[in-house]
Structure 1
Amino acid sequence: MKQNIFEKIEILPAYRQVADAIEAQIMKGEIKPEEPIGTEADLVAQFGVNRSTVREGIRLLEQSGMLRRGEKRRLYVSLPGYDKLATRISRSLVLHKVTFRELVETLEILEPNTIAMAAKNITNEQLDRMAKNIEQTEELLEDRDMLSKLDMEYHSLIAEAADNKVFLLAREPAGLLIYPATQYIFEAVPEAPSRLLDAHKKMFEALKTKDVEQARTWMDKHVRDFVKGLLRTGANLDGPIAKPHLDHLLSLDTYL
């Protein structure tokens, strides 16, 4: 008889079984977003387990954004926000030792295609928000931290304007990893803030006139500028993304 051909059976903790059972019903569409699933006491009675087990299972689902608490201690199904999902994915990318080169290669494919779709689908309300972002960027060119935040917001607006949820979700984790890198670039490359502002203005004009090719061209230039800036900071494109990026992601827990 062959030895060690079977894997050990994993017995999930009771709280994980509670969380998995609720999540399965949500994923099947049996319980829809904003529908109530009862209170902790209701779930204790249904699952036949103690309150601490139910509470821990609920905590897992709240952390993932699938449940929220409402009035009278009722629990409701919710849609996980892009910010929560993106942060979790970004952490995984860092822990898997993703390199800047891999990140850049993704941006070179994703960003030009995203803005091309945005040029076709952008709304006047989204253009107004983008114009406000550019105005704030121009006012805060010397504030490196705010500039990085505004840059991340600008690219998120483009992803939103593409009107494709997969593009938006794919872009957000990369944006969280780019955020600390842009701060380094602004410190190392004096002309970087003004070049970023110029590129944002050019892309905005292309989006406003629905000029797909011009939008794509300027996004290509913008990504190449990011790579040049990275190299001027002394970053190793083939090395794993550095610890400060993970520190930044962990700090986001305060706001999510």
Structure 2
Amino acid sequence: MPIAPLFRPIDVAPAYQKVADAIEREIVNGRIKPGDPIGTEHDLVRQFGVNRSTIREGIRVLEEGGLIRRDSSRRLHACLPRYSKLASRLSRALVLHEVTFRELYEASMTLEVASIEGAVERASEENVAELTDNLARSGAVVGDPARLAECDAEFHVLVAKASQNRVLQLAREPAAQLFYPTTEMIVTGVAEGGPRLVAAHRHLIDAIRRRDREAGVLWTRRHLQDWRRGFEKIASLDRSVEHMYMEHAQAARRR
């Protein structure tokens, strides 16, 4: 009878990943600040005691994550990752964990309500003008699901921007990236989807303009509940994001 193992295998990370992790730790901990020089590849080869190809691969990982950049002299500097890079990494993590659309819906209800509350309180005239311009463009493409989906995604980014809360802007992006393709699916499959979306956006802008928190929260909830009802006409909320998008991509290739 085999004896149950007492220990787990040791996970030995590649050398380039150890280099990337070491530099990332210093940036995240604040010991290396955005804009601070990190040196050249030659400097890092000497400090880490590894070959140049290992350093280059570690740098590639950090550049893709938006944590370092090169200047014109090829020297490396720490930098803040862009929202899009962080959001993409988190979105991939959500997909790998096989999150469902029900989970996305519940989390988004919290984040989008917080965004509209902040926007109602702090939106500037410029923010309202950007939202109004988006509404006009949305109305012009209401019969084009793909372009309307782009306008819808932009609208919610602008609401978060109007909240003047950068944490909210960053927090909502990973789920928003996964929501984005569903808008096109719903508008394509549900005849009233496009007009209802544009109408909800109009009410939200009006609430922001009037500083009406109650109306803003009400229409945000209605807007997301509309999304849920539309989505349930084409799929189950308990489907995983990964499986749903794989099927959608396969269907698109067959068309």
Deviation at residue 169 of structure 1 after TM alignment:
2.1
Question: d(CA) in 1 for partners of 2:95 and 2:28?
Answer: 28
Match of 1:253 in 2: none
Match of 2:158 in 1: 157
Q: Deviations over 1:154-193 (max 9, x none)?
A: 1111122223333222211111111111111111112211
- 2:87 partner letter: A
Match of 2:24 in 1: 23
Deviation at residue 247 of structure 1 after TM alignment:
9.3
Match of 1:137 in 2: 138
- 1:206 partner letter: A
- 1:94 partner letter: V
Q: Deviations over 1:56-83 (max 9, x none)?
A: 1101111111112221112121111111
What is the alpha-carbon root mean square deviation over aligned residues?
A: 2.1
Match of 1:195 in 2: 196
- 1:238 partner letter: D
Question: d(CA) in 1 for partners of 2:98 and 2:67?
Answer: 28
Change (3 A) 1:138 1:94: same
Matches within 5 A, 1:37-186: 37-186=38-187
* Secondary structure of 2:154 counterpart: helix
Match of 2:8 in 1: 7
TM-score (norm 1): 0.89
Question: d(CA) in 1 for partners of 2:187 and 2:99?
Answer: 23
Q: What runs of 5+ residues in structure 2 fail to find an aligned partner?
A: 250-255
Identity of aligned residues (%): 44
Paired positions, count:
247
Q: Which moved more, 1:203-212 or 1:86-95?
A: 86-95
Question: d(CA) in 2 for partners of 1:248 and 1:125?
Answer: 37
Q: Which moved more, 1:211-220 or 1:90-99?
A: 90-99
| Contact 1:94 1:246 (C-alpha < 8 Å) held by counterparts | no
TM-score (norm 2): 0.89
Q: Deviations over 1:62-119 (max 9, x none)?
A: 1111112221112121111111111221222222221111111222222222211221
Q: Deviations over 1:199-237 (max 9, x none)?
A: 10110111112111111011011011101111222x011
Q: Deviations over 1:13-52 (max 9, x none)?
A: 2212211221122122122112221221221122222110
Change (3 A) 1:241 1:214: same
Q: What runs of 5+ residues in structure 1 fail to find an aligned partner?
A: 250-256
Q: Does 1:216 align with 2:217?
A: yes
* Secondary structure of 1:142 counterpart: coil
Deviation at residue 3 of structure 1 after TM alignment:
6.4
Question: d(CA) in 2 for partners of 1:246 and 1:30?
Answer: 42
| Contact 1:91 1:246 (C-alpha < 8 Å) held by counterparts | no
